[in-house]
């Protein structure tokens, strides 16, 4: 398969998945009615009644949110995998999800409104990575990637311990279930205003990654080689970490902790388009958005109750990943 065709195919797949997702849900709306309502809305009209609310206030924002979350986590994962020169790295390597989880869980413990819980999640993610970066800098002048990862593991473990402590302190009848559901990840409560804010932050974080995609690609050759090619390694690394952290914190704040996507989707993309970052990034974004929409559609329509996203990404992603791995080996594209 040549490259442009792969990208066209991925884009087509994303659009197809989004259209199917818009037509599926527990509130039955016939496909024709979906098309008519979208057309009516697009031409400036208003769709009255439950159909309009379900479609434009609940389902479409959620599909969009899934796309943004999937794209963001995958892009952050791809950037980290190039940055750390290791395909087994996920966006969580520096503790961002655990930190965001801690922020949100504390919000739930104190019974704060949803918007504040999200804000605390966002702030928790940013703060955690900031502490990790500062710690690494103090220890080794910020030059060593190993120290950075180790600091991430330590701070992440601390945040994880703090989450466990909050769980023990929480009211087992009210707060503990809320905390558990939050940590498993879900887009059930997403509103259009959440999606708008998150999309803006994600775009702001994606911009530097897209702009510097060539240099990030060069980073994967190794620090010395990158330096020889005129890349300011330390500054670029700081920028990528800041951007990826911004993106991940923003999406985790509205979706809760969703594992696997940021690790697996870039790997899938790598099997499809190879390891070059300028190709890997768009492929990861397209694939991540499509994958997450598909998973979230299942989460909201497979059963009468919500299935946690974290569970589904692993259950669906695992086998797909193994299949791709087997296929990739046959064709020698690893």
Partner 1 sequence: MRLRRFAGIACAIAGCLALAPASARSVVDSAGRTVDIPENIAKVFTAGPPASTLLYALAPRDMMGWVRAPRPEEKPYLMPAVRELPTLGRLTGRGDTLNLEQLLADKPDIIVDFGTIADTYKSLADRVQAQTGIPYLLIDGRFQNTPAAIRLLADILGVKERGEALAREAEQTFADVDGVLAKVPMDARPRVYMARGPEGLESGSRGSINTEIIERVGGVNVVEGLREKGGLVKTSLEQVIAWAPDTIVTLDKGFARGVAAKAEWKPVPAVASNRVFFAPELPFGFVDSPPSVNRLIGLTWLSHKLYPTQSPGDLRTQVRAFFHLFYQVDPNDDELGRLLDGAGG
Binding string to partner 1 for residues 289 to 308, with x set by CB under 8 A, is what?
Answer: -----------x--xxxx-x
Q: How far apart are CA 251 and CA 266, in angstroms?
A: 17
Task: Return the C-alpha torsion angle 278, 213, 262, 96, nearest 10.
Answer: 180
Roughly how many angstroms between the first and final C-alpha of the chain, as a whole number?
Answer: 15
Beta carbons within 8 Å of 229's beta carbon, 6+ residues apart = 218, 221
Q: How far is the CB of 57 from partner 1 (least distance, A)?
A: 4
- Site for partner 1 contains 34 (CB under 8 A): no
The window from 35-43, 53-61, 79-87, 257-265 that contacts partner 1 (CB under 8 A) reads 53-61
- Using CB under 8 A as the binding rule, whether residue 167 contacts partner 1 is answered as yes
Our CA angle for 77, 80, 85, nearest 5°, is 125
CB closer to partner 1, 59 vs 237 = 59
- d(CA 55, CA 53) in angstroms, rounded, equals 5
Query: Which of 266, 146, 277, 174 has its CA nearest to residue 218?
Result: 277
Query: Cβ(74)–Cβ(265) under 8 Å?
Result: yes
Collapsing DSSP to helix, strand or coil, 83 comes out as: helix
Distance, in Å, from the CA atom of 305 to the CA atom of 62, rounded to the nearest integer, reads 16
d(CA 257, CA 92): 10
The verdict on 111 binding partner 1 (CB under 8 A) reads: yes
The Cα–Cα gap between 94 and 89 comes to 10
Question: Is residue 64 involved in binding partner 1 (CB under 8 A)?
Answer: no
54 lies in the site for partner 1, by CB under 8 A: yes
Contact region for partner 1 (CB under 8 A) — 155-163, 181-189, 200-208, 272-280? Answer: 181-189
Using the rule CB under 8 A, which residue among 8, 12, 35, 50 binds partner 1?
Answer: 50
- From candidates 37, 59, 152, 248, binder to partner 1 by CB under 8 A: 59
Of 22 and 246, the one with the shorter C-beta distance to partner 1 is 22
Smaller CB distance to partner 1: residue 53 or 86?
A: 53
* Binder of partner 1 out of 186, 199, 220, 313 (CB under 8 A): 186
- Binding characters for partner 1, 255-294, by CB under 8 A (x = yes): ----------------------------------------
Question: Given the rule CB under 8 A, which of 94-102, 137-145, 163-171, 229-237 is the region that contacts partner 1?
Answer: 163-171
> Which residues, 6 or more positions from 104, have their beta carbon under 8 angstroms from its beta carbon?
117, 118, 120, 121, 124, 182, 253, 256
Contact positions vs partner 1 (CB under 8 A): 25-28, 49-50, 53-54, 57-59, 62, 108, 111-114, 117, 167-168, 171-174, 176-178, 181, 186, 188-189, 191, 300, 303-306, 308
């Amino acid at each position: 398969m040549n490259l442009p065709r792969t990208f066209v195919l991925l884009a087509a797949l994303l659009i197809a998945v989004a259209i199917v997702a818009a037509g599926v849900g527990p509130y039955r709306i016939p496909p024709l009615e979906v098309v008519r309502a979208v057309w009516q809305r697009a031409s400036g009209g208003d769709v009255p009644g439950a159909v309009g609310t379900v479609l434009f206030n609940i389902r479409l924002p959620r599909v969009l949110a899934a796309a943004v979350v999937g794209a963001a986590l995958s892009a952050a994962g791809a950037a980290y995998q190039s940055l750390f020169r290791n395909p087994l790295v996920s966006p969580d390597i520096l503790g961002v999800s655990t930190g965001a989880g801690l922020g949100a869980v504390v919000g739930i413990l104190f019974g704060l409104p949803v918007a504040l819980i999200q804000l605390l999640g966002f702030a928790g993610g940013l703060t955690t990575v900031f502490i990790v970066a500062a710690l690494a800098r103090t220890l080794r002048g910020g030059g060593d990637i190993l120290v950075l990862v180790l600091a991430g593991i330590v701070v992440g473990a601390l945040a994880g311990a703090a989450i466990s402590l909050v769980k023990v302190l929480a009211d087992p009848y009210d707060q503990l279930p809320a905390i558990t559901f939050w940590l498993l990840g879900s887009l059930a409560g997403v509103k259009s205003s959440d999606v708008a804010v998150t999309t803006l932050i994600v775009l702001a974080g994606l911009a530097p990654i897209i702009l510097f995609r060539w240099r990030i690609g060069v980073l994967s050759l190794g620090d010395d080689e990158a330096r020889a090619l005129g890349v300011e390694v330390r500054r670029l690394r700081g920028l990528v970490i800041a951007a990826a952290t911004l993106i991940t914190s923003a999406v985790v704040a509205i979706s809760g902790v969703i594992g696997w996507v940021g690790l697996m989707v870039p790997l899938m993309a790598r099997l499809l388009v190879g390891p070059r970052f300028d190709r890997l990034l768009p492929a990861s974004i397209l694939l991540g958005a499509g994958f997450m929409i598909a998973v979230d559609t299942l989460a909201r329509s497979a059963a009468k109750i919500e299935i946690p996203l974290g569970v589904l990404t692993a259950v669906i992603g695992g086998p797909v990943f193994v299949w791709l791995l087997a296929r990739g080996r046959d064709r020698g594209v690893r």
